[in-house]
Amino acid sequence: MTAPVPPPGEASVTGEPTRRVTIGILALQGAFAEHSSLLSKLGADVREVRLPHEFEGLDGIVLPGGESTAMALIGERWGVFPRLKQWVSEGRPVWGTCAGMILLSDHALMQKKGGQSLVGGLNVEICRNYFGAQTSSFEVPLDTSALETGSVGKKDGGSANKNPYPAVFIRAPAVLEAGPGVDVLCKVRSRPCNKAVTVMKAQLKQEEADDRDDDTRRAKRRRLAAFFVEPNPSTAAVAGEGGGGGSGASSGEKEAPEVIVAIRKGNIVGTAFHPELTNDSRWHEYFVRIVKEAVSSGTGGVRDAESPAKTLGAAAAAEAEVAVA
């Protein structure tokens, strides 16, 4: 594990003072103000980002929770998504929470009709609204050992379990499969909501008819179908990995499936829950450490971002400026 970089103003391992990191918050829609407040308290310079040229000077960026479809539509229209895709492809630090995690995924299930644009970067299968609607929001204690050890499977005596993280889930997604190179940081046990079961059963059945001769796709469908076996009880218990609680299964009932709710791949972090809606700053501290380490290693920061006129074209840039105003 890389050693933490000292806070701004303190000496680094080379004896040189570290500079304050600058983190952008994608402010197209969603809970960007809450992220900004927490990151500012940790000593980061924070900027709201709505246009491509506003990436200039950033060391890291946060994609907040909100409505992923709305964020995608606005992001495409204002030319932000191409810049985000470039950012991710260059390995620069980015953190997506809830809707932001969906945008950073390569494959999303339960999309609205017509689909939506994704930034990509995380080779995972993610299911939108896995846990249900706004009224099905909940809080669950999560094991935080992975913030120090690097993955949920590497625990150091269980010490982190003594201080679980209060994870807030609101219309949250869940990662069903994580590909090579993706570190799993947190899991919970929970059944999908009734709507997800109904929609995914129909979708997987249709795909089976379309691709019955493709062995690879058929095997993948079987794995995904295991998450959508039966309707969800009206109130399902959710258990955070290492955090205690129920499994969502009553006596004699098949145990609820385990789904992934926090991941990392290189400098990309995704959380299905909303760390910005708590007073616990551990996840924000984790991302700030990643940004500092990236700056120290030379993989963070943009000092030569293209102008909006060059990226979008003069007409598109002018339209975006008017829309923001």
- Distances in Å between the Cα of 217 and the Cα atoms of 33, 167, 183, 311 are 41, 34, 24, 37
Q: What 3-state class would DSSP assign to 64?
A: coil
Say whether 53 is catalytic. Answer: no
Q: Which of 98, 127, 186, 193 is catalytic?
A: 98
Say whether 274 is catalytic. Answer: yes
Q: Are 26 and 74 in contact (CB under 8 A)?
A: no
Q: What is the rounded distance in angstroms from the CA atom of residue 243 to the CA atom of residue 144?
A: 9
Rg (CA), the chain: 20
Q: What is the rounded distance in angstroms from the CA atom of residue 84 to the CA atom of residue 92?
A: 10
Write down the residue that tokens 């700053």 correspond to: 281
- Distances in Å between the Cα of 307 and the Cα atoms of 19, 74, 128, 303, 304 are 25, 18, 34, 12, 9
Q: Which of 35, 53, 274, 284 is catalytic?
A: 274
Say whether 98 is catalytic. Answer: yes
- Angle at 110 (CA atoms; ends 221, 113), nearest 5 degrees: 120
Q: Are strands 94-97 and 45-49 parallel, antiparallel or unpaired?
A: unpaired
Q: What is the rounded distance in angstroms from the CA atom of residue 175 to the CA atom of residue 126?
A: 4
Residue 223 CB neighbours (<10 A): 11
Residues 6+ apart with CB under 8 A from 19: 8, 295
Phi, psi of 39 (to 5 degrees): -70, -35
Q: Are 28 and 80 in contact (CB under 8 A)?
A: yes
Q: What is the rounded distance in angstroms from the CA atom of residue 231 to the CA atom of residue 198?
A: 8
Instruction: Give catalytic residues, as residue numbers.
Output: 98, 274, 276
